[in-house]
Structure 1
Amino acid sequence: MILEVAQLEVIPGLEVAFEAAFAEAQQIIASMGGYISHELQRCVEQPNRFILLVRWRTLTDHTVGFRDSPQYQEWRKLLHHFYDPAPSVLHYESVVQNSIVRTGIN
């Protein structure tokens, strides 16, 4: 599995509109071959910063399968005008995985 990590800096004041556009755009990415899951998180300290985490079966599922697809052009049309600067995107693979889940406060 590959984890795509995209750091998104949304133009201040456009956060709500971005979140609405993302609600539509996420259907595009979820329909792609090799897609596993995704989550969008908003920064607490700097509310115009987001991080998008997308899990792909392989690197090429993202870099070729998605980015070279017509669906990617629709994704860009919905989202890329919100960013300044352009997103930083890197890919990671698991080295160590911890499956301990803690609930409550000890």
Structure 2
Amino acid sequence: MKILLASIFLLLTGVILAENYRPPNMEKELFKVKKLAITEIGKTSLFAGLLSVARDFDEEENEVNFELRSNSLAISGRLEPKSENFKDVHDDLKQRSRTVKQNAA
């Protein structure tokens, strides 16, 4: 019986955590941006596309799940860390969603 209750608790906890936004750990180096074989125009396009995925935040529809949104934000933030657009989306997602103190990518 204890195993069943523990299993149900873990399952429900996993569902709750899956719906929360996990802000990316921007201190962790995932890749070296300077080593990307991409033109400056390509980098800008990639940044804009990833930021659009991260920005797709609709509280009612949740078209893009939080994990994909966080990963997109993490990569775009590494491509253009000083971008005001990146900072705005990052702050907006933190404010408009329930955040989990775990760090994702």
Higher strand share: 1
What TM-score do you get using the length of structure 1 for normalisation?
A: 0.30
Greater gyration radius:
2
Higher helix share: 2
